[in-house]
Chain A
Amino acid sequence: MSETHAATAPRDLILAQRRRLSWPRVITSLAVPAQLRRFLSPLALVLLWQAASMAGLISPRTLAAPSTVLASAWELTLSGELPSHLLVSLGRVGAGLAIGLSAGVVLALVAGLSRRGEEVVDAPMQMLRTLPFLALVPLFILWFGIGETPKIALVALGATFPVYLTLFSGIRGVEPKLVEAGQVFGLDRRGLVRHVVLPAALPSALVGLRYALGSAWLSLVIAEQINANAGIGFLINDAREFLRTDIIVVGLLVYALLGLGADALVRLVERRALAWRPSLIKG
């Protein structure tokens, strides 16, 4: 008797709790779609920031109000200043990524597909990757001066290692049984690389690509601190001279949006290229 009572009591308790919890949840889910609910707290923070600025709690020298930031962004866009700086920055990232990604892919293919290639390439790459590449800035300035070259080189360097490491390990991580099956069914070495090894390494390489893009933005931010006379970094540095925190925030927002955009791009590529993966088939 007491046993049955003990067994049912917790369940009643849980049901009661669930009933009590479910009311607020019903209200929020009615008011805002689930996807938008994530943005509620950031929005609240921005409103708080705006209110604090308007009340004079945050001085414009410390941080401009969100409304000022938006206004400045609009102004800079209309004047063509922001788009032209953006183009310069995008050009640097584009050139650096093109060089860095190609270098990473070529080195990973050489090291991944041949033993001798691994002996030659992998050891120095593993050593170099432990170096925080941003620490190379002084050396790059000595080597390449203060023009575009050190900026692009830094972006390229930042993008090379993630792609190299992930593609190399992806190639080496190929399921040997699949390679064996490919051999039995008549694939030659080239066919094995094309139909088995590279597709198997692709998921890992795409993760590397995402890291590479993140690393490229970071390199860009640092590189544009080096005596730039155009680009988003220049816009930020220039604004600092005139205590224009609003423009600094605009620059930071642009950096953030570029990063988000790059990430979304890789996700799109993943969805297309990895359509065969079980997790993506259902979605």
Chain B
Amino acid sequence: MTDRTLRVRNLTRRFGSNTVLDSLSLELAPGSFTALLGRSGSGKSTLLRTLAGLDPAPAEAVLDLPRPVAVAFQEPRLLPWKKVWQNVVIGLEGRALRDRAEAALQEVGLGRHLDAWPATLSGGEAQRTALARALVREPQLLLLDEPFAALDALTRIRMHALVLELWRHHQPTTLIVTHDVDEAVLLADRVLVLDGGRIAADVTVELPRPRRHADPVFATLRRQLLSALGVELEEAA
């Protein structure tokens, strides 16, 4: 049997004199949900882009990734000249593509938008289409690059629930990059904090789902992670 654990060893990325990733090593268990937190410029996007194959990995780095990989970006990045269902199955070949697109779109609640143009979708619908496009590939590794940052608060809450449901159903190894501590604690079983190109904190979240902000454990984790990010909170209680 193939080992589906994600392994990264000795990943260094430099842009000029700036070291973005500093001999980073990382292991993600199959089917786990991990959040990657970091300030802007901490290298979290570079790490995700390297895992997605968008940035070349240096020769000395060891990358052992589950395949196939699918990505959802911060923007939906739909091709405006292709109908929704064609966007979902872009790059795929084979028969019954439309049926596969329909099944994936139904899963994200867009079963009736198959033939819509992307420009007619709301921000949340476009991002759900992007999720369907990722899911239809049945990825072993799902990379989410701040996918909800551009959505309004209410849509974001719905998207969180949807992502969790999809993750539970398909069980891909999931890595979400975010700068939102609440989002990280709400979604992930493990939260990594990236700082200076290295993993500065590795926190396991052992809260049962659905998680509530009011939970004292939630608050403790939140404070712990914010502290790792260099933000100290003064708590009244």
Decide yes or no whether A177 CB sits under 8 A from chain B: yes
B81 touches A184 (CB 8 A): no
B80 touches A177 (CB 8 A): no
B79 touches A277 (CB 8 A): no
Pick from B52, B75, B91, B118: contact of A177, CB below 8 A. B75
Pick from B53, B69, B82: contact of A195, CB below 8 A. B82
Question: Which residue of the partner chain B has the closest CB to A184?
Answer: B71
A276 touches B81 (CB 8 A): yes
Pick from A191, A200, A281: contact of B117, CB below 8 A. A281
* Distance of A281 Cα from B137 Cα, bound (Å): 30
Which A residues touch B117, using CB under 8 A?
Answer: 275-276, 281
Decide yes or no whether A63 CB sits under 8 A from chain B: no
A184 touches B79 (CB 8 A): no
Minimum Cβ distance to chain A for residue B166 (Å):
17
Decide yes or no whether B92 CB sits under 8 A from chain A: yes
B90 touches A185 (CB 8 A): yes
Minimum Cβ distance to chain A for residue B82 (Å):
7
* Distance of A186 Cα from B91 Cα, bound (Å): 5
Q: What 5 A-B pairs come out closest when comparing CB atoms?
A: A186-B91, A181-B77, A185-B91, A199-B81, A278-B119
Query: Looking at chain B, what size class is its interface with the partner chain?
Result: 20 to 34
Interface string of A155-195 (1 = CB under 8 A from B): 00000000000000000000001101111111100010001
Question: Which residue of the partner chain B has the closest CB to A177?
Answer: B77
Chain B interface, DSSP helix/strand/loop, else mixed:
loop
* Distance of A275 Cα from B117 Cα, bound (Å): 9
* Distance of A278 Cα from B121 Cα, bound (Å): 11
Which B residues touch A182, using CB under 8 A?
Answer: 79, 90-91
* Distance of A181 Cα from B70 Cα, bound (Å): 10
Which A residues touch B13, using CB under 8 A?
Answer: none
Decide yes or no whether B133 CB sits under 8 A from chain A: yes
Which B residues touch A178, using CB under 8 A?
Answer: 77, 79
Which B residues touch A199, using CB under 8 A?
Answer: 79, 81-82
Which A residues touch B118, using CB under 8 A?
Answer: 276
Which A residues touch B69, using CB under 8 A?
Answer: 184
B77 touches A191 (CB 8 A): no
Interface string of B84-109 (1 = CB under 8 A from A): 00000011100000000000000000
Decide yes or no whether A249 CB sits under 8 A from chain B: no
Minimum Cβ distance to chain A for residue B23 (Å):
26
Which B residues touch A277, using CB under 8 A?
Answer: 80, 119
Decide yes or no whether B73 CB sits under 8 A from chain A: yes
- Write 19 A-B pairs (CB below 8 A) sorted by A numbering: A177-B77, A178-B77, A178-B79, A180-B54, A181-B73, A183-B54, A184-B54, A184-B71, A185-B70, A185-B137, A186-B91, A186-B92, A195-B82, A200-B81, A276-B82, A276-B118, A277-B119, A278-B119, A281-B120
